[in-house]
Amino acid sequence: MEIVLLALGAALSAALLAGLAGSASTWKTRRRRRDAWAAAVAVCGLPVDERFDPWGSQRQIQAWVGPLEVRVEDAGRHTRVVAVVPDHPEISHVKIRRHRLKPPEPEIEIGDEPFDRAFHVVGPLWLLCVLLDAETRSLLLKVSTEISLEIAHGELRAEMPNRQLSAVLPLLLAIGQRLARPLNAAQRLAENVRNDPAAGVRLLNLLSLLSEHPGDRETVETLRAACSDAIPQIRLRAALGLGAEGRAVLAALAESAEDDAVSARSVSLLGRELPIERARDILDHALRNRHLQTARACLEQLARGGDPADVDVLAQVMAGETGELATAAALALGSLGSPAAEPPLIQALQREPEDLQVAAATALGRVGTTAAVLSLEEAVERFPHNPDLPKAALQAIAAIQSRLPGASPGQLSLAGADVGNLSFAQAEGGELSIATDPVGRLSLSGGEEAGGETSED
């Protein structure tokens, strides 16, 4: 019995000694970790308010960088750094985290492609523009991808292996200090518009400045400066913001070959302020450079100009181009309103692209005469697989008929099962319809047929 008790006592003593040794080892490990934290914080030159409990109830150290509170904490096998941004309640609505964390909220792109690929950003657009200037984005990108990084609820939080703390802590402190700066939104947005190296960021900051501070002196001066930006889209938006003052910039953009979409938009915005002769020159350059959007905008300008001399220009484009340009030229011929547009439009009815046939029929509804009726009828018969052509031809014929002296709406129409027949119905006093007579026959409805010829009483 004594032997058993002695053995039991020895075992308990060994367990106690092992527990004490383990506690001592844990304490030493925590102490070494705490010393590493303190050293990393000291390297950054921060005054430390230490809080350390060797038994594990609290394990952190605290420091201050101006108004920025910084904590280094135990996070199990990792170390956590928390920087609390003071006096900025707006920042509580901002969330910035790495994409690999897969947050559910829809994100905002800042306009800096490497940053947008790396980070998921949520919050008020103007505030994100203010906070995420070039330097702050650069610091965030320098933080290793191995580190879990998040800015949310007014705090910057990062977790990392303890060995990385000394390298990462200076970056985190710099980010926290930049987040804690006074907002001065208008001034900082203006600085970003002028100085950010990423064109997308400059544009987004310009839009935010216009939205949040319209009419401010800072905004107007920034718009004037942005009219010299290297990016055409930024110059366009700045010119729009300046109103009449920006018309010269719009005119230069309209004639520029840098950006097709911007030039087209500038042509459209100038409208009748763009002289027709300049529109013709821009159209010529756009066609040679294959700037299709600009060419289409110029076609619309020529149509609004109403100069019959442009019939030949539009007809050449319609005949020489395909796709949307040919279609746009056909519609422009219709809008021009010149009778001289009828012959080229009748020719376009015979071309194969279905969209062009429909556009030509629509345009003939505006400028065509009775000479176009049979061509419209023949086109419907020749291209039965174009589903939109019969309706366009019907509407065109009705429009042509409505312009005839003494006509009333609806006298001229496509009707019946056999598309392509024309007849005059005496009972309604001169109605012209495409009816169910044999194909190609024109008839007077009193029973007298003329085998494709018309006769008068």
* pLDDT tens for each residue of 387-398: 999 999 999 999
Fold type of domain 29-179: Yope Regulator; Chain: A, (3.30.1460)
pLDDT mean across residues, the chain: 82
Round to whole Å and give the CA distance between 240 and 249. Answer: 9
Q: Where are the alpha helices (DSSP H) in 213-246?
A: 217-226, 232-242
* pLDDT tens for each residue of 398-408: 999 998 876 55
> φ and ψ at 414, to 5 degrees?
-95, 130
Q: Mean per-residue pLDDT for 294-310? A: 91
* Cα angle value 346/349/354 (rounded, 5°): 160
In the prediction, which pLDDT does 67 show? 84
Round to whole Å and give the CA distance between 227 and 246. Answer: 8
* pLDDT tens for each residue of 20-64: 444 445 556 666 777 777 777 777 777 766 554 444 445 678 888
Round to whole Å and give the CA distance between 444 and 428. Answer: 11
How would residue 104 be classed by pLDDT, with cut points 50, 70 and 90?
A: low
pLDDT of 287 strictly over 70: yes
- Domain residue limits, the chain: 29-179, 338-450
* pLDDT tens for each residue of 221-251: 999 999 999 999 999 999 999 999 999 999 9
* pLDDT tens for each residue of 407-419: 554 454 444 434 4
In the prediction, which pLDDT does 29 show? 60
pTM: 0.76
